[in-house]
Structure 1
Amino acid sequence: VHGADDPLVPPAAAPDLVAKITGATLDMVPGMGHDLPLALLPRLADNIAEVARRA
């Protein structure tokens, strides 16, 4: 999960990082910065559950 408006970690760096991690996927969230808004917790939980299912 990466915020498309992250001022600390450039969003352009995310695809390169994902490419280096076997099985990784990228969920780029429009309008999100470096924080994790509470409204996105269900989305984050879904992402974590998907990774656990594939493990």
Structure 2
Amino acid sequence: MKKLQKEMSESMLPVVQMAYIEASWDACCVKDLKPFINKCIYVCWMMVVQNPQM
């Protein structure tokens, strides 16, 4: 079950990143920040899907 949860959380990561970018990204944001923001979302997402949560 834990292996399935980890695989599902990793496959959902691009969806979460795109949802955040679409909801919060506007034209005045610096494009060079996008990789940093995606990495922050990755770290936060992985902390949330841990059992127990961090």
Superposition TM-score tier, normalisation by shorter sequence: 0.3 to 0.5
TM-score by length of 1: 0.38
TM-score by length of 2: 0.39
Q: Is the radius of gyration larger for structure 1 or structure 2?
A: 2
